[in-house]
Chain A
Amino acid sequence: MTLALYGIVRADHPLPAGLRAVVLADLAVVVSDLGSGVELTAEDARSHLDVLCALMADGPVLPLRFGSVGPDDDSVRDNALRPDPEGLRLALDRLTGLVEARVHLTFDETAVLAALADARPTLTRPVTGFEATIEQGRQIADQVRAWIDQRAGELLAGLATETVALGESDDGGRSWALLVRANQLDRITTAVEALPDTVTARVLAPLPPYNFLSLRPKPASRWGFG
């Protein structure tokens, strides 16, 4: 028997059908039973996220890495919960009532470049040669990034208790993860509605607090799981 692992919750956390809890004192790992020969697809990633989102409705969840599987209940208990129950309790307490929101902002490129051209006229000077062009482009890109970071910082200020900058996307937009109170998500809606025309926002929430897990429980032992 193989167990798919979803997340760590408090032992009294209500569970949706098809899932069960591996409990140690007041903590539990949410698991589901898998057959052998497990292979995961992108659609499994979706159901993994769906499970975590459903769990979040009833209290804090510390998501485990997608694709983690354990051999049996005892090993899940011993490796996920036993090494650092106090750290897990603290993390669950810290994240109670909080959710993650992914904010994706796309700034109108022409507007950003025009603002930069005004602020730093040296960026507009002519260059010749491929290397020089790439170097100049790289510097402009750095400035664009810095400008967007600063502007986004202003736009997102005060919305979150913590903010983590995520990567750039193909369309040139940037993403941020915001840790917000679940009952204050409407503040993000208000902020997004007040954005200027040169900024397009996309917000995905509420999500499990993936970017705010400042904890790494260490296994007490790896014996028997080589």
Chain B
Amino acid sequence: MTSVIQSPGGSTSLADVLNIVLDKGIVIDAFVRVSVIGIELLTIEARIVIASVDTYIRYVEAMQQLGALPRRSTPALPAAMVSPVAVYPQQPAPPVATT
């Protein structure tokens, strides 16, 4: 999949512009920095945390399907994976080795 290089300008989304401009650039301590109104940075951070839990669960489900593929014709998930929240509070979980 390809796309051409986009030049910054009127067609650049506001999200891209803010991403480029906010909290970047040389800071000169003596100068006041006017805050930018209407930008809810905290909301964005909270959303990222929620999104990552969501991603983790999606990854695990996808991986288990991949792991099950060679053995089963239809990928079946353990019941706990279908609705992981239902088994909370957690059962004792074996630590997973990292390499």
Contact = CB atoms under 8 A, between A and B. Distances in A.
Judge: A and B partners, yes or no.
yes
Interface of A: 5, 7-8, 38-46, 48-50, 53, 62-70, 75-76, 79-80, 101-102, 109-110, 113-114, 116-117, 121-141, 144, 170, 172, 185, 188-189, 192-193, 195, 197, 199-208, 210-211, 213, 215-219, 221-222, 225
A114 B67 CA distance: 9
A42 B38 contact: yes
A117 B56 contact: no
Contacts of A62: 26
A124 B36 contact: no
Contact of A128 (B9, B12, B78): B78
Interface in B1-40: 1-9, 12, 14, 16-18, 20-39
A222 B31 CA distance: 9
A8 B80 CA distance: 58
Given A67-B36, A69-B31, A109-B62, 16 more contacts: A38-B34, A45-B21, A49-B21, A66-B24, A113-B62, A130-B84, A132-B90, A136-B56, A136-B60, A136-B96, A197-B1, A199-B1, A201-B3, A213-B26, A218-B29, A225-B32
A133 B17 contact: no
A68 B23 CA distance: 11
Contacts of A79: 28-31
Interface string B70-99: 000000001011001101111111101110
A67 B24 contact: no
Given A65-B27, A79-B28, A210-B24, A204 B12 contact: yes
B21 to A, nearest CB: 5
Interface of B: 1-9, 12, 14, 16-18, 20-39, 47-48, 51-53, 55-60, 62-64, 66-68, 78, 80-81, 84-85, 87-94, 96-98
18 contacts: A38-B34, A40-B36, A41-B36, A41-B38, A45-B18, A46-B14, A53-B8, A66-B22, A67-B36, A75-B30, A125-B67, A132-B96, A134-B57, A141-B59, A170-B47, A172-B55, A201-B2, A216-B27
Contact of A127 (B2, B7, B12, B93): B93
B35 A129 contact: no
A137 B57 contact: yes
A64 B31 CA distance: 11
